[in-house]
Structure 1
Amino acid sequence: MKKNANLPALIFMFALLIVWQCIAMGMNAAYILPSPTQVLVRLWELRKPLFTAHLPATMLCTGVGLAISIALGLLLAIVMDASPSAEKMLYPLIVASQTIPTTALAPLFVLWFGYTIWSKVLVTVLITFFPIAMTVFDGFRSAKTDMVDMLKTFGAGKKEIFLKLKIPAALPYFFSALKMAIPMSIIGAAIGEWLGAQAGLGYFSRRMMTQLDGAGVFAPIVLLSVVAMIAVGIVSWLEKKIITWRSSL
């Protein structure tokens, strides 16, 4: 059964690719909608600049932005859990930060930091820290009140309750947030590169668009999707190795 667990997803993906191929062949306009085979061929033709220059630039931006987002999100979640006053003060601001269109702020980041990595990192952090902070905060709040009361009766302080109860309770939430944050961090880096950069897959896709190269536009997008799926798969594997008690429930 385990060997066939991914079979429905593979069949569905294969069916979508066939539909895409048929529609693209029917349109016969590769500059608007290239077929999957045309995208793969173009990806192979552009493999040198994509893999040696643009993919490393995007992954560096994604990695730095994701690391900052994890640190910031965890810090905000811990502070809000520790202090109801901090929760009332920070929660609305965190939510409000997600109402600002990223495409409106990204050009400002470029003006402030130029075409350096930090303009793209800020876009990534702005998109990514929110699900980490909110999800981990919900994880802390999921710790059962009766368990907290029981630990208090045994003389446990806030530090012991946090380490022995709240962190284990929040771990599944953290991994769920991380699986959401990884694709979002890649999207954030690509958006930042699209609006202002000298290298990166987002920049490369925009450059191909100016040349009306539809397959060239899709090639870095496909590469980004594959990288995101691999990264999420690694996180899922780590989750199963670390949260061993979930499989026993």
Structure 2
Amino acid sequence: MITKFWLPISVILIIILIWELSATFFAIPDWILPAPTVIFAEAVSSWPNYQHHIFATIHLTIYGFVLGLMIGLIIAITLHLIPRLREALYPLLIMSQNIPIIVLAPLLVIWFGFGITPKLLIIILVCFFPIAVATIDGLKQTNPELIHYMKMAGATKKQIFIKLELPHALPSIFSGLKISATYSVMGAVISEWLGANQGIGVYMTLASSSFRTDRVFVAILFIMILCLLFFGIIIGLEKMLIKWRKDGNE
């Protein structure tokens, strides 16, 4: 496991080293580009001041991601089971992603106010699409010969879906979940720019307006950490379920 990640870790360390040496050698002001050591020192010393922002973003991200997951799966399963509906609505599903979230966000505030509803809607909008598309594709790729065999054995449409199509689509579903897991953090930060009173997005806005570039980088650092954390959780769940599925087939 360690040997698998040594190369990207080495590249990251080299970039940090070059960054540190360049900031020191060229005497770049901290308000333009702080050195990694300055950012790390600020992250440690100011932890009591921004920890509640991080926890607020985590809670918002989890709620939005779960709702986006549920909506994405419901849409995908519905469109898969009703082909006519899929033909009618799938193009609209694609078109929904052509609207920039940053443009749609002010409209959500106008319609739903400054509460949690528009923030959750933004996260749902960025999360449900990868899940829905990946699930639809996974369900469609089920081996038709296996479907024909189950029909000959007298299996109902429900049994075919639960015992064959859905397990077969798990790898595709988890591919969509990985994308949505990282998008959910981004969506949460964007939603916090709308007028929230806490969250990493709020912390980043306050730091930027006061020219505390080191704090902006601290916010970026924790956004990256949260994305990797959620991505890792999805990978762990995938290994557990796919392993269970393989063991069950043996």
Size of the aligned set, in residue pairs, is 247
1:52-201 → structure 2 map (5 Å cutoff): 53-201=52-200
Cα displacement string for residues 77-98 of structure 1 (whole angstroms, at most 9, x for unaligned residues): 1011111111112211111111
CA 1:88–1:7: 2 relative to 1, 3 Å: same
List gaps (5 residues or longer) in structure 2. none
CA 1:246–1:218: 2 relative to 1, 3 Å: farther
SS in 2 for 1:197: coil
List gaps (5 residues or longer) in structure 1. none
Cα displacement string for residues 24-59 of structure 1 (whole angstroms, at most 9, x for unaligned residues): 3336032222222111111112211321x2112111
Partner residue in 1 for 2:3: 4
**Partner Cα separation in structure 1 for residue 246 and residue 141 of structure 2:** 15
Cα displacement string for residues 168-210 of structure 1 (whole angstroms, at most 9, x for unaligned residues): 1111112121111111000001011123211110011011000
SS in 2 for 1:218: helix
**Partner Cα separation in structure 2 for residue 145 and residue 133 of structure 1:** 21
Aligned partners of 1:194 and 1:205 also within 8 Å: no
Partner residue in 2 for 1:221: 220
CA 1:100–1:16: 2 relative to 1, 3 Å: same
Matched, 1:28 2:28: yes
TM-score, normalised by the number of residues in structure 1: 0.93
Q: Identity of paired residues, percent?
A: 33
CA 1:211–1:3: 2 relative to 1, 3 Å: closer
**Partner Cα separation in structure 2 for residue 227 and residue 27 of structure 1:** 31
**Partner Cα separation in structure 1 for residue 82 and residue 193 of structure 2:** 39
Matched, 1:43 2:43: yes
**Partner Cα separation in structure 2 for residue 99 and residue 20 of structure 1:** 36
**Partner Cα separation in structure 2 for residue 196 and residue 108 of structure 1:** 13
CA 1:47–1:81: 2 relative to 1, 3 Å: same
**Partner Cα separation in structure 2 for residue 232 and residue 13 of structure 1:** 18
CA 1:206–1:133: 2 relative to 1, 3 Å: same
Q: Which amino acid aligns with 2:229?
A: I
The structural deviation recorded for 1:127 is 0.9
**Partner Cα separation in structure 2 for residue 236 and residue 128 of structure 1:** 17
Q: Which amino acid aligns with 2:31?
A: Y
Cα displacement string for residues 187-242 of structure 1 (whole angstroms, at most 9, x for unaligned residues): 00101112321111001101100000101111112112112212211221221111
Aligned partners of 1:62 and 1:124 also within 8 Å: yes
**Partner Cα separation in structure 1 for residue 32 and residue 94 of structure 2:** 37
Aligned partners of 1:58 and 1:189 also within 8 Å: yes
